[in-house]
A and B are shown apart, each in its own frame.
Chain A
Amino acid sequence: MRRRLNWERVASVVLLSPAVLATAVFVYGFIGWTAYASLSNWDRLLPDLSFVGLSNYEKLFANQRFQIDLRNTVVFTLVFLVACLVIGFVLALLLDQRVAGEGIFRSIYLFPMSISFIVTGVVWRWLLNPGSTELGSTGINSLFDMLGLGFLKSGWYTDPKIGIIAVAIAATWQMSGYTMAMYLAGLRAIPEELREAARVDGASEVQIVRHIILPLLQPITLSAVIVLGHISLKIYDLVVSMTGPGIGFATDVPAYYMWDTTFRGNHFARGAAIAIVLLVMVAVLIVPYLIRSTRTEAEL
């Protein structure tokens, strides 16, 4: 018995080794390689891996485009996160009121998640096309005109001040169904007795939401913040298809700058440095969450 157990132990490790090896090389090895490239002098198509220390990072943080990108990432993340959480929570709360046709509503709110950011970008580029003086209003702006809401008209992504917010609106359209689904699953897990007891004690519906439901849904809010937050740090496809970097880099983001400078400009070391900055930002968000959720799982 014992001997058989041993050969099976060996077999299990051998069978798992391709995955371990692939992860070691393609994830950790490649990250290490990128990190090394970010410390090198590689600034043209042919690799030049002579070591220059942190000077690429120094130049990067002094670079105006990168500063704008970081600002855009912050604005995008805030708008996108708050909008997704609020819309998702409100829709989930409403759908939890024994609504007729709940399944249909749920499917409609969630379907944008199944399509590509490229498709979203192509459509929203036309929807948020502000039009021009010759053309008049187009897209959403002309809809506002028709509904008598002309004061809501905007330059959207052509306006350097709010360009990145226009991209965040499209991203919210795509992802708020996700928070809705997560919150709805959470709401369904809260026992009705809890709300009933609060009602008996004279709590209003608003108080029930504030003091019972929201605290109980906190773990869901946390994982939604982490999942959506890492998506917004990595956002790339949507910018490519919707706006590009925009006028004065109004809609540029680090992920876009990285691809542009690396594969169009051949500034490999700078691209690698941007990639590592992105990785560090994502890791700060993800690693504690990853450790916590795998640890609690192991305790079960």
Chain B
Amino acid sequence: MTTKARVATGSRRPVTWQRLLLYVVLIAAAIFFLMPIYVLLVTGLKSFAEVSLNDMWNLPRGLHFDSFIKAWFGSQEEGFRGLNVNFLNSVYLTVPATLLSAMWGSINGYLLAKWKFKGSDILFPLLLFGMFIPYQSILIPLVQTLQKINFFGIKLYGSIFGLIVAHVVYGLPITTLIFRNYYANIPTELIEASRIDGANIFSIYRHILFPLSLPGFVVVMIWQFTSIWNDFLFAVTITSNPASQPITVGLNNLAGSYIVEWNVQMAGALIAALPTLLVYIFLGRFFMRGLLAGSLKG
């Protein structure tokens, strides 16, 4: 079908300048999208002597990692913190929160896809609404609630634990949605066959659906990893103590400080962006699927 459609190769010659224009536009767009990364990289790699706002677009004369070192460790003389603590906080936050919300979403998705009950068609959109709300509308009660909860001596407000709770709870709609759509595509015959063999609600999940879930888990975990790593609103509201703030808050403080040179800010921005960028570069395919699922078209 496609070969027939493009038999237009005979008329190839008159179109060449159009093809050329096509590539010019595509490349120009690519330059536009890459421009900020270019500035991040060249600025971060310049030596302190070389950095000047007027020469922003020039390539560095050599490779210098001073800006990255300063952004990572901070500077005691100049009196600002580095991002190393924040980076680790983000890891401690993102890994458990991603795992927990993926697990929970998988169970909910299974129940909503394969154990429909009266009212589950009403429950589902009510659940989904939670992923679109502006979180400002729950922020005040969330802070008050987290302040009151003291879990075996672990305070939720002001700590990574509180952030984990927030991300697991408010990640519930999207993780449930992706898993529900994923499990809905697994044929019901498979389940019915196992029921004849005496499988029940638990063993169906454990022996049939869960082993088939790997692609679903990859999509959900990439989605959750990216959104939790990149979150700022919950982080800045729940963790007011610099020692427990994640990377986005750390970077915002670094960049908002007048004593921090702008090349250090750029290096910090690159450090903050790196984990999700790497995930995107290596697992972009799955990132796309989460994206399309997020617009409800799973």
Contact = CB atoms under 8 A, between A and B. Distances in A.
Interface in B10-54: 22-23, 25-26, 29-30, 32-36, 39-40, 53-54
Contact of A16 (B5, B111, B229, B272): B111
A271 B296 CA distance: 31
A90 B255 CA distance: 35
Interface string A91-113: 10011011100000101111111
Given A142-B57, A185-B292, A193-B1, A9 B134 contact: no
A291 to B, nearest CB: 6
A126 B33 contact: no
B58 to A, nearest CB: 10
Given A123-B266, A223-B296, A23 B130 contact: yes
A258 B295 CA distance: 27
A287 B5 contact: no
**Interface range for A:** 35 or more
Interface in A137-194: 137-139, 142-143, 146, 173, 177-178, 181-182, 185, 192-193
Contacts of A124: 36
A51 B63 CA distance: 63
B297 interface: yes
B141 A30 contact: yes
B5 A192 contact: yes
B104 interface: yes
Contacts, number: 262
A70 interface: no
B194 interface: no
Given A8-B201, A23-B127, A286-B132, A127 B35 contact: yes
Interface string B241-279: 000000010011001100000100110110011001101
Contacts of A99: 22-23, 26
Interface string A108-133: 11111111111110111111010100
B136 A259 contact: yes
A282 B138 CA distance: 14
A-B pairs, 9 with minimum CB distance: A116-B230, A114-B280, A12-B115, A30-B138, A30-B141, A275-B136, A33-B141, A279-B137, A27-B130
Interface in A255-278: 255, 258-259, 262-263, 268, 271-272, 274-276, 278
A278 to B, nearest CB: 4
B29 A282 contact: no
A196 interface: yes
B117 interface: yes
B31 to A, nearest CB: 9
Given A122-B255, A241-B252, A278 B39 contact: no
B252 A114 contact: no
15 contacts: A15-B201, A29-B141, A31-B138, A47-B144, A112-B36, A116-B272, A122-B268, A122-B269, A126-B56, A142-B54, A143-B57, A282-B132, A282-B134, A289-B296, A294-B125
A99 B117 CA distance: 48
A37 B140 contact: yes
A179 to B, nearest CB: 10
B294 A19 contact: no
A123 B271 CA distance: 13
A146 B169 contact: no
Provide the main secondary structure of the chain B interface. Answer: helix
Given A94-B22, A111-B280, A142-B56, A116 B140 contact: no
A62 interface: no
Interface stretch (B91-99, B152-160, B212-220, B283-291): B283-291
Contacts of B233: 236-237, 259
A206 interface: no
Interface of B: 1-2, 4-6, 22-23, 25-26, 29-30, 32-36, 39-40, 53-54, 56-57, 104, 107-108, 111-112, 115, 117, 121, 123-130, 132-142, 144-145, 169-170, 172-173, 176, 200-202, 226, 229-233, 236-237, 248, 251-252, 255-256, 262, 265-266, 268-269, 272-273, 276-277, 279-281, 284, 287-288, 291-292, 294-297
A149 B56 CA distance: 17
A105 B132 contact: no
A105 B277 contact: no
A110 B33 CA distance: 9
A262 B140 contact: yes
B44 to A, nearest CB: 11
A128 B121 CA distance: 48
A108 B130 CA distance: 31
A94 B230 contact: no
A19 B104 contact: yes
Contacts of B136: 234, 236, 255, 258-259, 271, 274-275, 278-279
Interface string A10-31: 0111011011101100111111
Contacts of B202: 11
Given A26-B130, A115-B230, A127-B35, 13 more contacts: A22-B169, A30-B142, A94-B25, A109-B29, A118-B248, A119-B273, A122-B251, A122-B268, A181-B288, A181-B292, A223-B297, A241-B252, A294-B124
